[in-house]
Amino acid sequence: HGNADTNVPLGESQQMYTALEMLGKEVELVTFDGEDHRIADHDKRLIWSQTILAWFDWKLKGQPEWWQHLYGTADAPKG
């Protein structure tokens, strides 16, 4: 999520994250500084794509290694 998003304000995503977390759902929120709704910066977009694929590896395949490589832990940085 870009923290400069004018389509979906960051606060709305943070509220959704909190609500899902309170319901016991597996949820992560990763933000990108200075990005709008579409992650435009090439390097940040690459990390955004890798984040999605790494999350699927972790949650669907039980392979958290890629996620840990990106974020240094089995947990994402909290939004």
For 22-78, the pLDDT digits (tens) are: 999 988 999 999 999 999 999 999 999 999 999 999 999 999 999 999 988 766 554
Instruction: Domain of residue 40: give its range.
Output: 10-71
**Adjacent-strand bridge partners of 32:** 2
**Adjacent-strand bridge partners of 2:** 32
Position 38 in a domain: yes
pTM: 0.78
Position 4 in a domain: no
Position 63 in a domain: yes
Checking if the pLDDT of 79 tops 50, the result is no
What pLDDT is attached to residue 49?
96
- Residue 14 has φ and ψ, to the nearest 5°, of -65, -40
Position 22 in a domain: yes
Position 41 in a domain: yes
Number of domains in the chain: 1
- How is residue 9 written in tokens? 């304000």
Tell me the DSSP string of 13-69. Answer: HHHHHHHHHHTT-------BTT--SS--SHHHHHHHHHHHHHHHHHHHHS--HHHHH
